Amino acid sequence: MLIPLFASMAPLLIWPVEFIFPYPHIIEELVKGFLVYFILKSSDNTIRIRSTILAGLLFAFSESVMYMFNILLVGTIWTFIERLILTIPLHVITTLLILLSGMRKKELLPLGVVAAMFLHYFFNLFVQRF
């Protein structure tokens, strides 16, 4: 299955897009919605959920590693660890939110993406204050 590979490469692929369109909560959730669309093609719910959790983990870890170089310029290794602790649950939860809406009914997948965008947006606001 190529989904884990794409999930781990996605942050690197969308990074230039985020310079042009600086709304990561929109871009990242659209990409995860695309991933979940293909995960939903599996017939086994256990595989769907495991694949989604793996995709969220890989996406978050890859994104954090990509930002590590900038983090180390302005912070410490602890800043990187804090980022991992905060972003891994965010990306796993938003990816699962998209999946669960699509599992309920495939037509609800866009609604799950929008809900994930809002969650990601408010998370970003919270983290900025943190």
Q: What is the pLDDT of residue 67?
A: 81
Other CB atoms within 10 A of residue 110 CB: 14
- CA–CA separation, 96 vs 87, rounded Å? 14
Give the lowest-confidence range in 8-17, 75-84, 119-128: 75-84
Q: What is the pLDDT of residue 10?
A: 96
Of 88, 84, 23, the C-alpha closest to 55 is 88
C-alpha distances in Å from residue 17, one per residue of 10, 12, 70, 83, 89: 11, 10, 18, 21, 24
pTM of the model: 0.93
Q: What is the pLDDT of residue 80?
A: 81
Q: Spell out the domain ranges in the chain.
A: 3-129
The residue count for the chain: 130
Across 98-124, average pLDDT: 97
| pLDDT tens figures, 44-95 | 999 999 999 999 999 999 998 888 877 777 777 888 888 889 999 999 999 9
Q: What is the pLDDT of residue 62?
A: 92
